[in-house]
Amino acid sequence: MVRELRITPIRNGTVIDHITNGLALDVLRIIGVRELDKDSTVSIALHVRSGKIGWKDIVKVENMELSPRKVNAIALITPSATISIIRDHQVREKRSVDLPEHVTGVVRCPNINCISNQGEPIESDFRVVRRRPVVLRCTYCDRQVTDFLRHLA
Amino acid sequence: MSLRGRDIVSIRDLSTEEINEILDRARKLIPIAEGKKSSDALDGRVVATAFFEPSTRTRLSFEAAVQRLGGRCLTIADIGVTSMRKGESLYDTIRMLSSYSDAIVLRHPNEGAARLAADASDQPVINAGDGANQHPTQALLDLMAIEESFGTLAGLKVVLLGDLKYGRTVHSLSLALAQYGSEMVLSAPKALALPEDLRSELDSLGAKITEEPEIKRAVRDADVLYVTRIQKERFPDEGEYRTVAGSYRVDASVLEGAKPRLIVLHPLPRAGEVDPEVDRTPHAAYFRQAFLAVPVRMALLSSILPSGRAG
């Protein structure tokens, strides 16, 4: 009950739970708060006790369901996260974020000389070469990336 | 596994068996590469050689390979004469070229250009060097030069000397050598060390790698000394280049304590890192290596492309 008081329930929207402690603001950056309806409320809880991962952050966003691309971006920075879709106060869908084998259009290649950074009509594309911790390899130039926050597209 | 219709973008695209198959075929093609026999294996085939960076050996040996097998080339040797000067994308350029030819050989200054070309093209694409990334066909001919001297690729000690950071030939060669269980000795100025992610990939492949910056010590028990030029054109600024320019040089005195059978290889061009006096020693194998580019590229093209009209 105490937890409910800390973050108000939402009628429609998305709850991103089990975010690695300290990364809620980065998750907000991925969600793109500026794209939200002006009447939507965004609630953030930082440093919340979690039985599952020790300490966690939580983000609740009203009137928004995340695109697969945004879910992939969240999976990159906090693979422990779970996503619940709320409709009429009910949890309609709950799942953990799951990285596909390829991550497309989410991260820019850190290699400035990579062909994917030269204005060609292509999207960035990375193969997931390791999942815990996540390591990506650029499909084009083979450069490995681990620092995703600095290179989000 | 058949190589027919395959893209060769990275040396990672080839298994050990496939590399062996290419080298076997290349050995048989040497008399044709030398002009002592003729072939019409690529009769009626058109290969586009699109070179957006300077090249002497790679482009000419590919073109010699096509012509020795009875095929024809469409050549772009200067970006200035293409519509890319007008802002056309590489993607569109390759789409167009793939409709004019049966295969595309591409050199480009940007890493990953060959992978993009392979996506854009309906025809097989062979990477002839993409920035500082990969040069898989050079690795194949390097392997052939080593095998020709020692009769094997296994159990040899190979020193990789020079610009291991930007040198795409060593990036491809080191991955290939790892497949054959060769021992590698990395000899490079600190600023030109092998990229970390490639180093960890080699480690994960179980490659035996040591480091020895002092050339004479590195060469002592080696079978192969593979020298590279400092890739001046890849440095982000002139100042960084000047800190390493001229930092290593192989001359006859460096080779004094080496094994008599040591061979010196270099992808060429050289820019002072191998003294011409080495040419007169039995160690010099780089001109033979340059010749082997022709049979190796013949082998690759005839494996990838279907036989010509007469085939």
B92 and B171 fall within a common domain: no
Arithmetic mean of pLDDT, B137-153: 97
User: For residue B50, what are the β-bridge partners?
Assistant: B76, B106
Specify the number of domains making up chain A.
2
Distance from C-alpha of B288 to C-alpha of B203, rounded to nearest angstrom: 31
A107 and A35 fall within a common domain: no
A36 and A106 fall within a common domain: no
A6 and A71 fall within a common domain: yes
Assess contact for B5 and B124: CB atoms under 8 A. Answer: yes
A90 and A107 fall within a common domain: no
Q: What are phi and psi of B74, to 5 degrees?
A: -110, 125
B83 and B219 fall within a common domain: no
CB–CB contact B112 A114 (8 Å): yes
Q: Is residue B5 part of a domain?
A: no
A62-68: long-range pairs with CB below 8 Å, 24+: A62/A10, A62/A11, A62/A12, A62/A13, A62/A36, A62/A37, A63/A12, A63/A13, A63/A36, A63/A37, A63/A39, A64/A13, A64/A14, A64/A31, A64/A36, A64/A37, A64/A40, A65/A13, A65/A14, A66/A14, A66/A31
How crowded is the C-beta side of B262, counted as CA atoms within 13 Å? 24
Domain range holding B48? 11-134+293-304
Chain B residues whose beta carbon lies within 8 Å of the beta carbon of residue A144: 197
CB–CB contact B90 A120 (8 Å): yes
B115 and B141 fall within a common domain: no
The model's pTM: 0.90
B156 and B186 fall within a common domain: yes
pLDDT band with cut points at 50, 70 and 90 for residue B3: very high
Assess contact for A60 and A36: CB atoms under 8 A. Answer: no
Specify the number of domains making up chain B.
2
CATH at residue A146: 2.30.30.20
Arithmetic mean of pLDDT, B83-106: 93
Q: Is residue B128 part of a domain?
A: yes
Q: Please count the other Cβ atoms lying within 10 Å of the Cβ belonging to residue A3.
A: 10
Looking at the complex, report in whole angstroms how far the Cα of residue B125 sits from the nearest Cα belonging to chain A: 14
Q: Please count the other Cβ atoms lying within 10 Å of the Cβ belonging to residue B190.
A: 9
Chain A residues whose beta carbon lies within 8 Å of the beta carbon of residue B134: 142
A24 and A88 fall within a common domain: yes
A108: tokens are 């820019």
pLDDT band with cut points at 50, 70 and 90 for residue B310: very low
Give the nearest chain A residue to B113 (CA atoms). A115
Domain range holding A30? 2-96
Instruction: Indicate if the pLDDT at residue B171 is higher than 80.
Output: yes
pLDDT band with cut points at 50, 70 and 90 for residue B311: very low
pLDDT for res B1: 61
B119 and B148 fall within a common domain: no
B221 and B178 fall within a common domain: yes
pLDDT band with cut points at 50, 70 and 90 for residue B256: very high
Instruction: Indicate if the pLDDT at residue A10 is higher than 90.
Output: no
pLDDT for res A98: 86
pLDDT tens track for A29-81:
888 877 777 788 889 999 999 888 899 999 999 998 888 889 989 999 999 99
